[in-house]
Amino acid sequence: MKKYYSILLVLSLLACNKLDEVVYSSLTDDNAFTTAENAQAAVNSMYAPLHSLYREPMFYINDIASDTGFKNGNCFEVMNDNAIYNDNRTLVAWNHLFQIASRANIVIDRVPEMSDNLFRDGLSKKQMLGEAYFMRAFAYYNLSDVFYRVPLVTDSRVSPTDKPSLASLEDIEYCIENDLFNAKDYLPKSYASKDDAQRPTWAAACGYLARLYMRQAGRARQKDDPAEQNYWNYALAELDNVLSLDGSLYSLQPSVWDVFDPSREECLYNNELIFAIKASGKIVSGSWDLGLQFTSWEYDMGWGNMYQPLEMSWKFDPADERFSVLQIVQYENVYNPDKTFYKAPDNISLTGTVPNEHTYGDKTYTEVVEMSETFTQKYKFLNTWKYIYETPNNLPLLRLSDVLLCKAEVLNELNGPCEEALSLVNRVRERAFQNAEHNLQLADYPDKAALRSAICDERMYELNLECLRRPDLIRMGLWKDRMKEYVGTIAKKYAWKEQNEGREPGYYDGVWAAYPSADSFTDNDLRMYMPIPYREVTLNPSLVSARDYVQK
């Protein structure tokens, strides 16, 4: 059968050294990879799908389908498996992740064939390959995190009519591991130019290797597999690689807001970020509308596509800046600032009572509306009233606080609760509270399970709405526990609402009845993973049972 390179005749690629978009309308098999510049354009094309992938899909899949994201009535929020099966967001995730892998395959196949003499003026053949290996690993890591088993294609010379079968998870993870080792060999530890800030580094490759080994260790623990300890040790070695740069290339920012503040140049390029989707509000091609997704129109003209659940916000200590600075729990209507005020109930027992009080601060409002969700400021929208949707919000995909919490988790799994593990968690907490008065104490954690649960909670406080929660819960063996708690708290919330409003029990049953029963969650629940999109199963019926292997 004749084989084809999967190079599109009309392909939106990215310019040679920057991640600005430019159209290469005639890049074909005949003229591609004849210069270092168009090889660099092929490398840059791997990053193009990231904005669409993380505009909504990965948030819905990893946060809204867990206990750290909320969108009332959405199929992900209610864990409606049949609706998710047909939802466009899983299809976008599938398409874009495979697109990244496919473009990486092209670079990996073609760049080594090019003469070394072509690479001058700062263009590095070695670095291009490192980026391609990293991005292919990134794609398959996320594909297997989302869909569990997927086809594994590592050759760009494939027929467009091929219908590959599902690869084993072992083969997928072996490919990810090899690609990340290659990436470590080829990638630099840092880049000289801010134009390259989105490119992966050696530390990013180490960090994703650690995540891979932690995922394997968590799976091994749940199966009583003796390989568990080896995986934890492998993860620890890679985390230590990253942390060898702590204090030189990377550091925790003074406050949590410094990680996310889109208004200051020093924050946009802050050195807590190890791998991130970067954006610039100055150029359309480098910008996106991420900031519009997380707040309501009445707050700052946001589009209200992703919120945070009250059930999560109620868990925070009010002194925690991850609550007091990053969460919006009350606000004036931007259109009627002297009339309408929105406020979330301060705790579950106050659900349904907020409108009874109309005076807040030194102002009295004619209308008070009880919020059914809270907002995050991690991706703050700066252009209220301007109707300019290009914003410079960064999306962290790997940052130093994540690595510190990962190492704490690994140390606990290897040694049980210990001072070193708690000191890592407390570094993150001391930044969040701006003091050491809220540090965790070793005496409060008698065994691995107790500290594992505390670290799971800490990751929720620190990393909510960063597309990590669902994989965290699966790895830690706490998916069933936290989802059961989440749905159970929703039921209690409506019971309080009925009582506080003087309604008959069951009045709100129709509102939350679409949620699964708290008792329906199981240890190997298929709903931990997303179903392969209906369109893909229709085109290739061998993909239909991908998630069934979770229970084997």
Per-residue pLDDT of 502-518, as tens digits, reads 999 999 988 877 788 88
Residues 9 and 70 in one domain: yes
Confidence at residue 481, expressed as pLDDT on a 0 to 100 scale:
97
Q: How far apart are CA 219 and CA 223, in angstroms?
A: 6
Residues 14 and 78 in one domain: yes
Confidence at residue 126, expressed as pLDDT on a 0 to 100 scale:
95
33 Ramachandran zone, left/alpha/beta (phi>0; psi -120 to 50):
left
For every residue of 266-318, DSSP letters joined together read HHHT-TTEEEEE---TTSGGG-B-GGGSSS-HHHHS---S-BEEHHHHTTS-T
Do residues 253 and 259 make contact, with C-beta atoms less than 8 angstroms apart? yes
Choose one of 373, 393, 413: the last residue of a domain: 393
What is the pLDDT confidence band of residue 5, given thresholds at 50, 70 and 90? very low
Residues 11 and 148 in one domain: yes
Q: Is it the case that residue 6 has pLDDT exceeding 50?
A: no
The DSSP secondary-structure symbol of 195 reads G
Query: Would 358 be classed as within a structural domain?
Result: yes
Per the structure, the count of domains in the chain is: 3
**pLDDT > 70 fraction of the chain, expressed in percent and rounded:** 93
Mean pLDDT of the chain: 90
Position with higher pLDDT, 68 vs 25:
68
Confidence at residue 189, expressed as pLDDT on a 0 to 100 scale:
96
> Residue 351 sits in which domain range?
290-393
Confidence at residue 281, expressed as pLDDT on a 0 to 100 scale:
55
Q: How far apart are CA 134 and CA 27, in angstroms?
A: 23
Residues 520 and 455 in one domain: yes
Residues 549 and 437 in one domain: no
What CATH number should be reported for the domain holding residue 152? 1.25.40.390
Query: Would 545 be classed as within a structural domain?
Result: yes
Q: Is it the case that residue 12 has pLDDT exceeding 60?
A: no
Nearest to 274 by CA among 134, 179, 400, 131: 400
Residue 476, token pair as written in the block: 């830690």
Residues 352 and 472 in one domain: no
What CATH number should be reported for the domain holding residue 493? 1.25.40
What is the pLDDT confidence band of residue 13, given thresholds at 50, 70 and 90? very low
Residue 312, token pair as written in the block: 């999560």
What is the pLDDT confidence band of residue 20, given thresholds at 50, 70 and 90? very low
State CA 377 to chain mean position distance.
Answer: 16
What is the pLDDT confidence band of residue 551, given thresholds at 50, 70 and 90? low
pLDDT digits (tens, 9 = 90+) for 402-454: 999 999 999 999 999 999 999 999 999 999 999 999 999 999 999 999 999 99
186 Ramachandran zone, left/alpha/beta (phi>0; psi -120 to 50):
alpha
Q: Is it the case that residue 333 has pLDDT exceeding 50?
A: yes
Confidence at residue 392, expressed as pLDDT on a 0 to 100 scale:
84
In this prediction, residues 306-335 reach a mean pLDDT of 97
Do residues 168 and 149 make contact, with C-beta atoms less than 8 angstroms apart? yes
In this prediction, residues 26-41 reach a mean pLDDT of 77
Choose one of 393, 421, 436: the last residue of a domain: 393
Q: How far apart are CA 76 and CA 547, in angstroms?
A: 17
Residues 463 and 366 in one domain: no
Q: How far apart are CA 378 and CA 389, in angstroms?
A: 17
CA dihedral 522, 523, 529, 533 (to 10 degrees): -40
Query: Would 270 be classed as within a structural domain?
Result: no
Query: Would 337 be classed as within a structural domain?
Result: yes
Query: Would 61 be classed as within a structural domain?
Result: yes
Q: Residue 144: which residues within 8 A CB-CB, separation 6 or more?
A: 150, 169, 172, 173, 176
Q: Is it the case that residue 352 has pLDDT exceeding 90?
A: yes
Q: Where do the DSSP E strands lie in 383-536?
A: 395-399
Residues 151 and 13 in one domain: yes
Query: Would 381 be classed as within a structural domain?
Result: yes
Residue 347, token pair as written in the block: 């705790």
What is the pLDDT confidence band of residue 21, given thresholds at 50, 70 and 90? very low
Choose one of 393, 427, 461: the last residue of a domain: 393
| Interaxial angle between packed helices 400-415 and 202-222, expressed in degrees from 0 to 180 and rounded to the nearest 10 | 40
Residues 328 and 460 in one domain: no
| Angle at 476 (CA atoms; ends 270, 399), nearest 5 degrees | 5
Residues 503 and 359 in one domain: no
Residue 51, token pair as written in the block: 């904005």
Residues 340 and 408 in one domain: no
Q: Is it the case that residue 396 has pLDDT exceeding 70?
A: yes
Q: Is it the case that residue 22 has pLDDT exceeding 60?
A: no
pLDDT digits (tens, 9 = 90+) for 186-196: 999 999 888 88
Q: Is it the case that residue 26 has pLDDT exceeding 60?
A: no
In this prediction, residues 94-114 reach a mean pLDDT of 96
In this prediction, residues 174-198 reach a mean pLDDT of 94
pLDDT digits (tens, 9 = 90+) for 515-526: 888 899 998 899
Query: Would 282 be classed as within a structural domain?
Result: no
Q: Residue 100: which residues within 8 A CB-CB, separation 6 or more?
A: 46, 49, 50, 135, 136, 138, 139
Q: Is it the case that residue 469 has pLDDT exceeding 50?
A: yes
Confidence at residue 280, expressed as pLDDT on a 0 to 100 scale:
62
Do residues 203 and 27 make contact, with C-beta atoms less than 8 angstroms apart? no
Query: Would 384 be classed as within a structural domain?
Result: yes
Q: How far apart are CA 104 and CA 97, in angstroms?
A: 11
In this prediction, residues 3-29 reach a mean pLDDT of 39
What is the pLDDT confidence band of residue 95, given thresholds at 50, 70 and 90? very high
Compute CA distances 505 → 69, 73, 352, 509, 529, whole Å.
27, 22, 14, 9, 34
Nearest to 305 by CA among 376, 386, 398, 384: 376
In this prediction, residues 236-244 reach a mean pLDDT of 98
State CA 383 to chain mean position distance.
Answer: 24
Q: Is it the case that residue 353 has pLDDT exceeding 90?
A: yes
Dihedral angle sign, alpha carbons of residues 104, 110, 536, 140: negative
What is the pLDDT confidence band of residue 457, given thresholds at 50, 70 and 90? very high
Residue 459, token pair as written in the block: 């990751």
Confidence at residue 157, expressed as pLDDT on a 0 to 100 scale:
87
What is the pLDDT confidence band of residue 24, given thresholds at 50, 70 and 90? very low
Residues 370 and 428 in one domain: no
> Picking from 92-106, 266-280, 359-373, 391-405, which range would have the lowest pLDDT averaged per residue?
266-280
